Structure 1
């Protein structure tokens, strides 16, 4: 009786083991029963159970309007044409400096004041020449009247005319010199001669460098300030090799910095450097559509480019598989045979991937669902 009970328990245990083993064997069927062509390493044959287990479906190449969002990053810089060195037209001592490094200024604002006795001399020369010119004009008119009645010689008239012309040219020259240093000659009189001149900002921008200090004597060739015009701000963006063909000159982009990622500014790509650097990226140059003081030289920035490829050929994303940095699709050859075909891909969105030079796929049935499983079968075969 005791022996009989042991036998019954043993029999039940053996049946249970057999049942579990059967399920495991059935799960292995998908891969173990896969047949491969000896002459074609890229082909695979499935049995009906495998097709059902994988759930294979097929599709065909399709024409679609596709979009792709390319993300770029880089730094800001200033175009050389918008970095200006400011000097004084005439030498002198720095009387005062009205800005500091990094400060903002407006066009026409006084940046510094320079003082020197030569400014007094220049104004004095102008006023003296102006008085002499008036006397020469009166003498010239008088000599013309006298020469008409032959009361004076032609030589005397010519001398008076030459004196008048010379003084007139001298006065014009002095007037231009005063204009350059910011003194209005028309309003100049003996009562408002000054020893100081102002150095004005030529545009609205920021101070990059101050190269002088109060009391320093400067020559006309000395640079006082280095100024930045923010209108010349450029965005130097890295474009990864896979996106180089998608990023083109003239494209509109959105730019933002890490401090305010939700605030995006419009910009336009003005140049793409046609070379790939050692890091595997090219450089695209963009310019802001309008001046934005939040972007300064040397700042890290991010950009988004919305790429639109109008009416291009593509396949659902799951139909395209990748292996060792190359892309493939599987063609349904019929009779449960499938062949892996290399393809060149372009842009992709959430659903579809562009296939470049896809005419050879037009009349082919392409595996959609199950493409990755077929790839795994081929990899197992290779192993």
Structure 2
């Protein structure tokens, strides 16, 4: 170490002398961000060079895109029977829980439907008793087959009517099991069918809506998806089930867990492919249309790499020294990725293809260059 340090001082000294005395070509000189060494100095430092290599490294890539909603999780709320909007209990953007009141509709048709159901329910019990009685009489030949068949048909017809009315009540959010003559109401409460967020409200209080007319749109947050873009060169490293960490531009430090559910097998004209991911948990800050980024680690991904010792850092930037003709070493900025087994990924590796890059001695060159700048 002492010999190297003394030699670095020697290099710096010769740089200074070169400026003052204009000595011969064996003395080093700097040309902007480059250093020139003699063969003897290269030998003393033990400087070696290497070439860009393809290595299997755990490479982290960044994808970007936006939050979308699965079509199956974007729900339009309506009523099978028209009515007047009595009240609305939510606003666009509001989060809600399953079973929470969203709106109330009122109309005399609701009363009629409940009445028809309760009458059918009462008739069914009477028809059932008559059917059972006629069945017993017929088995003993105390009544004709025709009388028994009429009782059976009446019972089954009313059963169908009751069942149909029961299903209609469910569609307007009325529980037939708890409905009695005492709690018939002219209004119905529309409640949330799941946990989610209000996307859009289309009607207003006092407005009359027709049957099946949409009142509002809801988003089931379980259906929020990440629609991301990946470049063709990275597609082979992406797969269904792969975990990713997403983040917003507003809060990049908070990572949102997600998992890839689809890699669309189609390359667009711009060389990208669509990647679809689903969030692993519910995040209140995530809304449809939000622009988002995601980091994905590609395991054992072949990528342009250099030995770790080739890379030097200065003022929060990373560099390598490229050897050109006449023993000139040029400080070249690079963007680095992950490191593995002594090698570091060079993200912008294209510019270093077939270039001689300093491996051993890169740090010595950087110290010489820094000291020269200080001079």
Q: What TM-score, normalized by structure 2, do the two folds share?
A: 0.67
Q: Judging changes above 3 Å, is the alpha-carbon distance between structure 1 residues 130 and 309 closer, same or farther for their aligned structure 2 residues?
A: closer
Indicate which of 172, 179, 182 corresponds to 2:170: 179
Distance 1:269 1:23, change over 3 A: farther
Which of 109, 123, 126 matches 2:114?
A: 123
Aligned to 1:237: 228
Give the deviation of 1:200 after TM superposition.
1.9
In structure 2, do the counterparts of structure 1 residues 103 and 56 end up closer, same or farther at CA, with 3 Å as the change threshold?
A: same
User: Which structure has the larger Rg?
Assistant: 1
1:272 aligns with 2:263: yes
8 Å CA contact 1:29, 1:50 repeated in 2? no
**Deviation for aligned residue 1:313:** 9.7
2:339 alignment counterpart: 349
Structure 2 residue 180 is the aligned partner of structure 1 residue 204: no
2:298 counterpart (288, 291, 307):
307
Assess if the C-alpha contact under 8 Å between 1:30 and 1:53 holds in 2: no
CA spacing shift, 1:72–1:185, aligned 2, 3 Å: closer
Q: 1:254 to 1:187 in 2, by over 3 A?
A: closer
Q: Deviations over 1:328-355 (max 9, x none)?
A: x99xxxxx9xxxxxxxxx9763862569
Asked if 1:222 corresponds to 2:201, the answer is no
Task: Tell me the TM-score normalized by structure 1.
Answer: 0.66
Instruction: Report the CA distance shift for 1:20/1:243 in structure 2 as closer, same or farther (over 3 A).
Output: same
Q: Does 1:26 align with 2:26?
A: yes
The 1-side partners of 2:249 and 2:70 are apart by: 22
Measured in 1, the distance between the counterparts of 2:263 and 2:140 equals 79
Q: Name which of 153, 156, 161 aligns with 1:162.
A: 153
Secondary structure of the 1:213 match is coil
Looking at structure 2, the residues matched to 152 and 219 of structure 1 have their Cα atoms a distance apart, in angstroms, of 50
Where structure 2 has 5 or more consecutive residues not aligned to the other structure, the ranges are 1-17, 32-36, 312-321, 327-335, 347-355, 366-375
**Greater Cα offset, 57-66 or 256-265:** 57-66
Shift of 1:188: 2.7
Residue of structure 2 equivalent to 1:102: 93
User: Is 2:244 the counterpart of 1:253?
Assistant: yes
- Separation (CA, whole Å) in 2 of partners of 1:131 and 1:28: 108
- Asked whether the 8 Å contact 2:27–2:38 carries over to 1, the reply is no
Q: RMSD of the alignment, in Å?
A: 4.2
Specify the SS of the correspondent of 2:84: strand
- How far apart in 2 are the matches of 1:280 and 1:54? 45
The answer to whether 1:213 aligns with 2:204 is: yes
